[in-house]
Structure 1
């Protein structure tokens, strides 16, 4: 008689496993991806770390150790860019999470023209970032912009969205949220529609209201979507450059500079080693924030 233990032993050590262990194909299949990853990521990353320790040009380089990093953190404009990067990343990612969830709840309810509204919400994601930046630069003009002209009709004196130091960074962040919230909404919609309908039916039978269904069903079961939106939005916010450069070029002064725009300005000025050190700082910043956050969110997801 074959026991359950024997059957499990045969299943774990039988011929299929032996054939699979001897097959060379799974190992060879990794090589193309590994080669591409090494050439496009590992080599440039290691090279960047080396050049961040040098004062280099196209033709030569001089090893200076950590001097570039010391200079980076001593420059007020560079430290301001680091602070703005953190503010920008937190504001944009937080707004996308909240608005994405709210729009997803609306667009998964029984409303008219639901499919068309989903397309409208997602459309800004498809538009060129530079095009969006240039368009909103015109719309936010303090004197001739449509936004301030519309506010003037209501008797409101609109601010200098991109010219006032206290508004510039926030204004660009709002445009970033407008452009990127569609992707967050689509991710949340996918998370919500994947929840089994039986949970909502049971909640209705128990007399649960809309808030109770959201708090006890949608919010916990859509946690994978929330984790995805947070990670993607935070990475995008910390690495943002093109929208800020198209709208303010880091101005007025250095008030809306982020690390990426500071790096670009240093490179334009010929400080290649310093700009490379800034790239390394940005890489380490994103890794230090996103990696532990991702592990924490995934662990919370497993515990749920």
Structure 2
């Protein structure tokens, strides 16, 4: 997981920097005039305005995490005694051994898990609409 996090960190940082640059400075100036401190500005302006970016990056990270195969296969090949075996390596093993039905069922299960997780994350995080 650390390798996958390191691999995707640049892309996620670009998304967060773009999200931060999209926040108008007028909000920070008005909050500073009103006497808001750093944490008040962080929790009242920055984080609510970054909610769409946080939503997108969360969904992307979870779907990328569920799709990871190459790093696990190259580094551990399923690990000692299948300790690092995930659904993707199980799909690969099923197809490699000729268990076509099992491989197809696991692939469908992975798809359903990704859709359900993405749906709940988007639904939960989009309850708070951000208006500029």
* CA distance, structure 1, for counterparts of residue 128 and residue 34 of structure 2: 27
Q: Residue 253 of structure 1 aligns to a residue in which SS?
A: helix
Assess, with a 3 A threshold, how the Cα gap between structure 1 residues 209 and 302 changes in structure 2: closer, same or farther. closer
Q: Residue 257 of structure 1 is aligned with which of 82, 85, 102?
A: 85
Unaligned runs of 5+ in 2: none
2:69 and 2:89 in contact (8 A); partners too: yes
* CA distance, structure 2, for counterparts of residue 249 and residue 301 of structure 1: 44
State the 1:298 CA deviation.
Answer: 2.1
Q: Deviations over 1:152-194 (max 9, x none)?
A: xxxxxxxxxxxxxxxxxxxxx1111111122111111111111
Are 1:248 and 2:63 matched, yes or no?
A: no
TM-score (norm 1): 0.41
* CA distance, structure 2, for counterparts of residue 177 and residue 262 of structure 1: 22
State the 1:247 CA deviation.
Answer: 1.0
Larger Rg, first or second structure (1 or 2):
1
Are 1:201 and 2:29 matched, yes or no?
A: yes
Runs of 4+ aligned structure 1 residues displaced above 3 Å come to none
Matching residue of 2:51: 223
Unaligned runs of 5+ in 1: 1-172
Q: Residue 287 of structure 1 is aligned with which of 110, 115, 124?
A: 115
* CA distance, structure 2, for counterparts of residue 271 and residue 187 of structure 1: 40
* CA distance, structure 2, for counterparts of residue 280 and residue 207 of structure 1: 54
Assess, with a 3 A threshold, how the Cα gap between structure 1 residues 221 and 302 changes in structure 2: closer, same or farther. closer
Tell me how many residue pairs correspond in the alignment: 132
Q: Deviations over 1:80-132 (max 9, x none)?
A: xxxxxxxxxxxxxxxxxxxxxxxxxxxxxxxxxxxxxxxxxxxxxxxxxxxxx
Q: CA RMSD in A?
A: 1.8
Q: Deviations over 1:234-276 (max 9, x none)?
A: 1111111111111111111111111001110111111111111
* CA distance, structure 2, for counterparts of residue 302 and residue 210 of structure 1: 20
State the 1:225 CA deviation.
Answer: 0.5
